[in-house]
Structure formats: structure tokens, C-alpha cells
């Protein structure tokens, strides 16, 4: 194969192949599915010192209460006026989500990063600090006022970052801690707006800049500057904010930074303790679930067994196995290959593997069948492999029921690795046959792997679309017989 044969198609060669476009409400459809999987978005609550914790079962209540006590100082404050259309939210140590514009029919949702503060009055939101991500329902007029300028939107999804221009806040002890750090802050207010969906208008003094999805703008003392790339815009904004650090004003606020850092460190230490407690609880929960529910859900075929599966089967006196179909021709048609994600050229590989699987099984069963029936080779060949497997099993069961039952258990124990495999000449017929059958799918996969590679061979061998025979044989568990 020469390198030229690998040349890509001409640029745009497939452009005329028209794609289907998503419907206008597709994102909403997806999000409704996401909503089903999630608890509803947290609404702002008329309470202070709300600790956000996941719901836990009763037995962990005491431990959680302890965690809550530890974490109380790191709580998120959400304060709402008596009128639901008015509210205030501060994210102290971790991200919070709030509905803005009323509790019943929220017009917008906002996600506040730690350090962000918003106050809203109807559809007018004042964001004086931090990073907030907004999602506004279509049709709602919505304005975000920042110290650097205003952002007007009409149904969109965007983020606003505010730096500098700190506002005075009132509140309880923790808020005063924050406030003390903010007093005297006089950094030049700057804001960065990135639009992910829809359109927004950014205003600064008499300047007005319209942004569409993918664009961003920076608002500062010099006015509003648009960037056609959110990433580039953010980079420029971050650089500008960093550059402010060398301003005399910023230097004068060194104490502020120090105090805020100290506050953050205390909060982080408390949050770490809380996380540690939660992790321990999670680990205990998983152990408990594993013990009571039988472990995590299975993500492989019920015939693809590991040692634990085999140990479990041994206890129940069962074996399970999968073998490839014995008729290779019908299993390697073009349709079957396509269903397996294979090319017609792969047919020969698969057919060869099927053939060798048949030879292995028949090579083992045929002499056992001859021995069990005590008849001629011609008759055994006429009976065929499938009937022979059942005949060998049935005749052995009739001759020695307990021995055959024990063979199930011993084979499962051998596969579980808790019993050594006896020498071939010591194996009774049923055990020999069961050992061969329970190993066949692995042999088939190894055969395919020589050509396809291990990953592809595994995918093909355990595909739901490959022609196989699934079998489960059982007997009574040890000690259950009367």
C-alpha cells in the first residue's frame, strides 16, 4: 500500500452531503431530560445560613449533623426579601444556583461562583462582584447592572465577571468579615461578558455594543471592547485585571487581598473537613450497598464471568457458558458482518475462527460420545455435536447423579480459581466436557485476537450480534440434597 493511497479526499468533498439540522427547541428537550435526572434547581429561600448538603439516609444523620456543625461557618447565605421578586444571593465558599425573578415562575437562573454577589429587583440584577453564569428564558427582559456597565439581554445564556468596584454589604458576622475586606477597595471596576447563546447588548456610558453567541466584551474605564472569541476576550480581560495589580490603588489594597485570602483559607479548611467526613460516609454507603445489593450494576454479558461470578455459581451448583455457533456459513453473511461492524473482508477471519471452534468442541465431544454410546463412529457423526453433548451429559447423570452434580460445582470452583484442575486422565467425562465448553469462548476470542487484535476480538466475541449459543446448567447446591 503506498502512501498516496492514504491521501484524504479533497477538502470539502463531502460538503454537499446535507446534514439534518436540530429543531429549534432541541436544547430544551435535552435539558428536560437532564432535569428528570436532577433535583430541581435550588430556589432562593427566605433563610440565612443555609447549608447545602445532599440528602442522606437516616442512619447517617448524626454524622452529617457533625459535618454541618463543622461546615456552618462556610455556609452559603441566601437572603430574600418578603416580596419574592426581590432577593439577594452571596456565594461565600462554593457555587450556588438561584432562580431570579420570583419563586414560582423564575425568569432566569444564575449560577454564582464563590465570591459572587447579586441583588435583584424583578428583572434588574445588580452584580457587584464575582463570576456569575446566567440563563434567561426567552421573552423576558433582563438587565444585569455592574459597576463597569450594563448588560441587556433577551433570552440567552451568558456569563459576567466583575473585578474591582466593590460595594458595601450589610449582614451577619461572616458578611461583616467580607465587608471589612471590601472597605476601601477602589480598584477600577471592570467586567467581562461572554455570550454562549442568543444576543446581549452591553452598555457603558454612551457606548453600546451588541454581542452574539461566541462573542465577548470587556467593559472598563476605557469603554466597551468587543472580542469575536470568548477565549481570546477572557485572556485579554485576565491580563488586564492582572496588570491592575501593579497600580498604586491595587497595591494600597494589599491588606484587602491578605484578609480575603485568610478568610478563604479558613473557609477552605472547614470545607475540607466537611468533604472528608462526606467521603467517609460515601465509602461506607458504597460498602453497605455492595453488601446488600450484590455490588455495582453489571456492564458486561452475563456469560462473561469473572472469578467472583464463578464462585457464586459454585455455591449455587451451576455452570454457564457461551460457545460460538457451529454453523459458520450462516454466521458470516454480509448482513451479519455489517451488524458486527465488520467489513466483508473480515468474513474469512470470522469463518476460520468459527471452524476452529467447531473442531475443538467436536474433537473433545466425539470420543466422549463414542465411549458413552458404545456405538460406531458413523452413527456418532450422524448424531452430531449438539446431540452428543446432551447424550454424554444425560447418560452420565443417569449412571452417577451425584457425581455429575458434583462436577458442576467442581468445574465452577476450578474456574473461580479455588480448586486446581485435575489431570485430564483423572477427569470424569462430564467434567472434561464442562471444562472444555466453559473455556471455548475464551479460545474463540484468542483465535480472533491473532488477526483482529485483543480489543476488537473482545468486542466481536461478546457482541450481541454475533452468532453464539448461551447455556446454563444447574444442579442442587452442596448440602441441599435430602
Partner 1 sequence: MMAIAMSEVFPRRAERGVPPGLDAAVLTRCRAQDPVAFRAFVVRYQNMVFALLSRMLGHGAEVEDLAQETFMRAYRAFPTFELDGAAKASTWLLTIATRLALDSRRKKKLHLADLDETDVAEVAVAPGTPEQSLHHRQLGLAISRVAATLPDDQRAALLLCEVHGLSITEIASALLVPENTAKTRLFRAREKMREALAGEWRTP
Nearest approach in angstroms of CB 203 to partner 1 is: 23
Cβ(230)–Cβ(216) below 8 Å: yes
Nearest approach in angstroms of CB 1 to partner 1 is: 7
**The residue to which cell 462554593 is assigned:** 94
Cα–Cα distance for residue pair 109/143, rounded to 1 Å: 13
96 versus 256: smaller Cβ distance to partner 1? 96
338 versus 386: smaller Cβ distance to partner 1? 338
Nearest approach in angstroms of CB 380 to partner 1 is: 38
Per DSSP, 462 falls in state: T
Cβ(299)–Cβ(434) below 8 Å: no
Cβ(137)–Cβ(108) below 8 Å: yes
Q: How far is CA 274 from CA 69, 77, 174, 287, 324, in A?
A: 9, 17, 18, 20, 53
Largest CA distance in the chain: 104
Residue 355's CB is within 10 A of a number of other CB atoms, namely 15
Cα–Cα distance for residue pair 434/408, rounded to 1 Å: 8
Nearest approach in angstroms of CB 67 to partner 1 is: 20
CA nearest 177: which of 80, 265, 118? Answer: 265
Nearest approach in angstroms of CB 46 to partner 1 is: 23
312 versus 465: smaller Cβ distance to partner 1? 465
Interface residues with partner 1 (CB under 8 A) are 1, 3, 5-14, 16-23, 26-27, 29-31, 33-35, 37-38, 41, 95, 97, 109, 111, 131, 133-135, 157, 159, 194, 196-197, 213-214, 229-231, 234, 335, 337-345, 452-453, 455-456, 459, 463-465
Helix (H) or strand (E) holding 120: strand 117-121
Nearest approach in angstroms of CB 111 to partner 1 is: 5
202 versus 412: smaller Cβ distance to partner 1? 202
Number of H helices, E strands in the chain: 14, 17
343 versus 376: smaller Cβ distance to partner 1? 343
98 versus 434: smaller Cβ distance to partner 1? 98
Distance from CA of residue 463 to its chain's centroid?
23
153 versus 436: smaller Cβ distance to partner 1? 153
Length of the chain: 482
What SS3 string covers 13-36?
CCCCCCCCCCCCCHHHHHHHHHHH
65 versus 212: smaller Cβ distance to partner 1? 212
Q: How far is CA 340 from CA 23, 332, 347, 460, 471, in A?
A: 32, 10, 11, 7, 22
Burial class for 313, CB neighbours closer than 10 Å (0-12, 13-18, 19+): buried
Nearest approach in angstroms of CB 328 to partner 1 is: 20
Nearest approach in angstroms of CB 34 to partner 1 is: 5
Nearest approach in angstroms of CB 108 to partner 1 is: 10
132 versus 372: smaller Cβ distance to partner 1? 132
CA nearest 158: which of 110, 209, 88, 121? Answer: 110
160 versus 372: smaller Cβ distance to partner 1? 160
Nearest approach in angstroms of CB 280 to partner 1 is: 20
Nearest approach in angstroms of CB 401 to partner 1 is: 42
Cα–Cα distance for residue pair 288/294, rounded to 1 Å: 10
4 versus 292: smaller Cβ distance to partner 1? 4
CA nearest 380: which of 389, 56, 102, 190? Answer: 389
What is the radius of gyration, based on Cα positions, of the chain? 35
Nearest approach in angstroms of CB 200 to partner 1 is: 13
Residues near 82 by Cβ (< 8 Å), separated by ≥ 6? 46
Nearest approach in angstroms of CB 16 to partner 1 is: 4
8 versus 479: smaller Cβ distance to partner 1? 8
φ, ψ (nearest 5 deg) of residue 306: -105, 180
Cα–Cα distance for residue pair 463/444, rounded to 1 Å: 13
109 versus 360: smaller Cβ distance to partner 1? 109
Provide the β-strand partners of residue 323: 469
Amino acid at each position: 500500500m503506498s502512501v498516496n493511497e492514504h491521501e484524504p479526499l479533497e477538502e470539502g468533498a463531502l460538503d454537499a452531503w446535507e446534514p439534518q439540522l436540530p429543531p429549534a427547541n432541541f436544547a430544551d428537550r435535552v435539558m428536560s431530560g437532564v432535569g428528570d435526572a436532577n433535583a430541581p434547581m435550588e430556589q432562593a429561600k427566605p433563610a440565612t445560613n443555609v447549608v447545602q448538603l445532599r440528602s442522606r439516609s437516616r442512619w447517617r444523620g448524626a454524622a452529617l449533623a457533625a459535618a454541618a456543625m463543622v461546615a456552618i461557618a462556610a455556609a452559603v447565605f441566601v437572603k430574600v426579601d418578603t416580596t419574592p421578586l426581590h432577593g439577594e444571593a452571596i456565594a461565600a465558599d462554593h457555587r450556588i444556583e438561584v432562580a431570579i425573578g420570583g419563586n414560582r415562575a423564575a425568569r432566569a437562573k444564575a449560577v454564582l461562583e464563590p465570591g459572587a454577589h447579586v441583588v435583584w429587583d424583578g428583572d434588574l440584577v445588580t452584580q457587584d462582584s464575582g463570576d456569575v453564569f446566567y440563563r434567561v428564558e426567552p421573552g423576558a427582559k433582563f438587565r444585569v447592572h455592574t459597576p463597569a456597565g450594563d448588560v441587556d439581554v433577551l433570552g440567552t445564556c451568558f456569563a459576567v465577571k466583575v473585578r474591582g468596584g466593590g460595594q458595601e454589604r450589610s449582614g451577619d458576622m461572616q458578611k461583616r468579615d467580607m465587608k471589612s475586606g471590601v472597605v476601601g477597595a477602589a480598584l477600577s471596576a471592570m467586567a467581562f461578558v461572554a455570550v454562549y447563546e442568543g444576543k446581549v447588548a452591553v452598555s457603558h456610558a454612551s457606548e453600546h455594543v451588541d454581542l452574539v453567541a461566541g462573542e465577548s466584551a470587556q467593559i472598563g474605564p476605557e469603554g466597551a471592547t468587543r472580542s469575536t472569541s470568548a477565549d481570546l476576550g477572557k485572556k485579554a480581560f485576565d491580563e488586564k485585571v492582572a496588570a491592575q495589580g501593579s497600580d498604586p490603588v491595587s497595591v494600597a489594597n494589599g491588606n484587602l487581598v491578605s484578609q480575603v485570602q485568610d478568610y478563604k483559607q479558613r473557609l477552605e479548611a472547614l470545607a475540607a473537613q466537611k468533604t472528608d467526613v462526606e467521603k467517609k460516609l460515601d465509602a461506607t454507603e458504597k460498602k453497605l450497598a455492595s453488601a446488600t445489593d450484590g455490588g455495582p450494576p453489571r456492564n458486561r454479558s452475563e456469560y462473561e464471568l469473572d472469578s467472583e461470578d464463578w464462585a457464586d455459581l459454585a455455591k449455587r451448583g451451576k455452570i454457564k457458558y457461551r460457545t460460538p455457533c457451529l454453523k459458520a456459513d450462516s454466521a458470516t453473511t454480509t448482513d451479519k458482518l455489517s451488524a458486527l461492524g465488520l467489513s466483508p473482508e473480515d468474513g474469512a477471519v470470522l469463518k476460520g475462527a468459527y471452524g476452529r471452534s467447531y473442531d475443538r468442541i467436536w474433537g473433545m465431544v466425539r470420543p466422549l460420545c463414542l465411549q458413552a454410546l458404545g456405538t460406531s463412529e458413523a452413527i456418532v457423526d450422524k448424531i452430531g455435536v449438539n446431540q452428543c453433548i446432551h447424550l454424554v451429559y444425560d447418560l452420565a447423570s443417569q449412571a452417577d447423579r451425584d457425581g455429575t452434580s458434583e462436577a458442576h460445582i467442581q468445574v465452577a470452583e476450578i474456574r473461580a480459581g479455588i480448586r486446581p484442575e485435575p489431570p485430564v486422565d483423572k477427569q470424569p467425562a462430564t467434567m472434561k466436557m464442562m471444562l472444555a465448553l466453559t473455556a471455548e469462548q475464551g479460545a474463540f476470542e484468542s483465535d480472533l485476537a491473532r488477526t483482529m487484535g485483543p480489543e476488537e476480538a473482545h468486542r466481536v466475541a461478546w457482541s450481541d450480534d454475533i452468532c453464539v449459543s448461551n447455556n446454563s446448567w444447574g444442579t442442587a447446591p452442596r448440602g441441599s440434597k435430602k
